[in-house]
Amino acid sequence: MAQRKAELIQSRLDKLQRIRSRGVNPYPARYLCSHTTQEAITLYRESRVEGSGIPEQIVSRAKRLQTLKLAGRITAMRSMGKAIFLDIRDGSGKVQAYLQRDAIGEEKYSLLQDFDIGDFIGVEGELFETRAGEITVKVSDFTMLSKSLQPLPEKWHGLADVEKRYRQRYLDLLSNEQVRRTFEVRSQAISAMRRFLEKRGFIEVETPVLQSLAAGALARPFATHHHALDSDLYLRIATELHLKRLIIGGFDRVYEIGRIFRNEGISTKHNPEFTTLESYQAYADYHDVMEMVEQMVSFIAKEVLGTMRISFGELTVDLSPPWQRLTLREAIKEGSGVDFEAFPDARSLEAEIRKTGLRVEEGMSWGKLVDYLLSHTVEPNLIQPTFLMDYPVKLSPLAKRKPGCDHLVERFEAFAGGMEIANAFSELNDPLEQRERFEEQERVRALFGDEEAERIDEDFLLALEHGMPPTGGLGVGVDRLVMLLTGHQSIREVILFPQLRTVPG
């Protein structure tokens, strides 16, 4: 440990020892607060509001004379010798405390010498207003609630070191108000999402994270091992197939908000574990789901931010429904000039893409080529919320074919702020066709060495053979939705503890 830091900690350890030697417990179990700091300030302000019927002076006097008990972390200390000002912060806000030696008593007052910025304190007293107009507790008694041994980041600039912000997020939350705000928005957005779905009759369920086969999406799973069962298990890469089993079991509207895990690259848009919402609605198709997505996302924005028009970088994204609807074919034709339907095999499509000047790796499957066109020539430009509809069947092994267009499926993806935020389709419920689609994916995997293709989930096929109603399914990237709502370009800014390399020691 650096010498300087050791000294800072030693100084606090010495204070801790002095506190103990006075017979004071520096880590008591509880402190009964009468108010949060925010409530206290509101109380004082309201006592000044006129027109309550009661003479203002009496209301004011009664409320001001009330003794309050507040608690929080000391974030600043301004000592005046025989008096000291503290800033005390709790989860609701901040209040100033004023401690005078003569009001507290010399012996108790001297205890303050062993308090540091970062310690927790409980204060008891009446509210008053300082000369500068700040509502302040005039402290008659105080209690040490917790001694901190480590120095906090500097008050003015906060914590800027990005690595430290992620590794010690608690310091980031303490130092940077807007970081705290981002995670409040995240929490409120998920809460609003639940309210929306519950109002529509969906029930929340939980399905296994540990699975013997990681299916339901195209991704590489994390592998682990169960010792008692002596079997290899995988962390789920999607919740899809289990939720459909529940539709088969008669829950007509289900959803799960949960963590899924993909063993792939880490970037500003990808964390190995991330949160999805998946919902399934019996007797609905992808048009119904589209309507639900635009209603849900705009509802969440309105609930959490109070507006459907949100800032994203220098742009404004207007989430008010209805959202623009385009077919995938139209969008890609417009973005790249390539009509993928005119090139039904991988090699001719690859050649056509090369003609436009885009550089693609050799040997990509047809599906990957279309996906490449989408993510490179279309997605970055979809700033305003947009649905792209009708995807090639080759890209969508779990979606139902579009009547009259055998090569397309009833699928859409929703984009906003240049990101994909939702993926949905009319679910394939024909068990024989589902088996063929899985087998086709296996063939693609063998042919292209494509490790991410679906595996055949026999247990799911068995369930499907018992009959699944027509169903509209949806997946929403919750982290990306929060990025959109908070205007962040990096997923690490909306995940409290993003994955970082483990530092030895």
Partner RNA sequence: GGGCCGGUAGCUCAGUGGAAGAGCACCGGACUUUUAAUCCGGGUGUCGUGGGUUCGAGUCCCACCCGGCUCACCA
Residue 389 CA to residue 344 CA, distance in Å, equals 19
Find the shortest distance in angstroms from Cβ 418 to RNA. Answer: 11
Find the shortest distance in angstroms from Cβ 48 to RNA. Answer: 16
447 binds RNA (CB under 7 A): no
Find the shortest distance in angstroms from Cβ 371 to RNA. Answer: 6
Residue 223 CA to residue 233 CA, distance in Å, equals 6
Q: Scanning residues 345 to 384, which ones bind RNA (CB under 7 A)? A: 361, 364, 368, 371-372, 375-376
Q: Scanning residues 272 to 301, which ones bind RNA (CB under 7 A)? A: 272, 274
Q: Scanning residues 136 to 155, which ones bind RNA (CB under 7 A)? A: 136, 138, 151, 153-155
Strand partners, 318: 309
Instruction: Point out which span in 29-37, 94-102, 208-216, 341-349 binds RNA (CB under 7 A).
Output: 94-102
Residue 499 CA to residue 266 CA, distance in Å, equals 8
Q: Which of 43, 59, 77, 112 binds RNA (CB under 7 A)?
A: 77
**Binding-residue total with RNA (CB under 7 A):** 80
Q: How many CA atoms lie within 13 A of 160 on its CB side?
A: 4
Q: Scanning residues 379 to 438, which ones bind RNA (CB under 7 A)? A: 420, 423
102 binds RNA (CB under 7 A): yes
Q: Which of 32, 132, 228, 229 binds RNA (CB under 7 A)?
A: 132
199 binds RNA (CB under 7 A): no
Residue 106 CA to residue 108 CA, distance in Å, equals 6
Distances (CA, A) of 253 to 55, 110, 157, 293: 56, 64, 49, 15
Find the shortest distance in angstroms from Cβ 91 to RNA. Answer: 20
Residue 443 CA to residue 345 CA, distance in Å, equals 15
**Between 297 and 336, how does the x/- string for binding to RNA read (CB under 7 A)?**
----------------------------------------
The H or E element containing residue 43 is helix 37-46
Q: Scanning residues 176 to 195, which ones bind RNA (CB under 7 A)? A: none
Q: Which of 452, 461, 469, 470 binds RNA (CB under 7 A)?
A: 452
Contacts of 413 (CB under 8 A, 6+ apart): 387, 388, 391, 420, 422, 423, 424
Strand partners, 142: 123
128 binds RNA (CB under 7 A): yes
Burial letters 390-425, b for 16+ CB under 10 A, else e: bbbbbbbbbbbbbeeeeebbbbbbbbbbbbbbbbbb
Q: Which of 61, 78, 259, 443 binds RNA (CB under 7 A)?
A: 78
158 binds RNA (CB under 7 A): yes
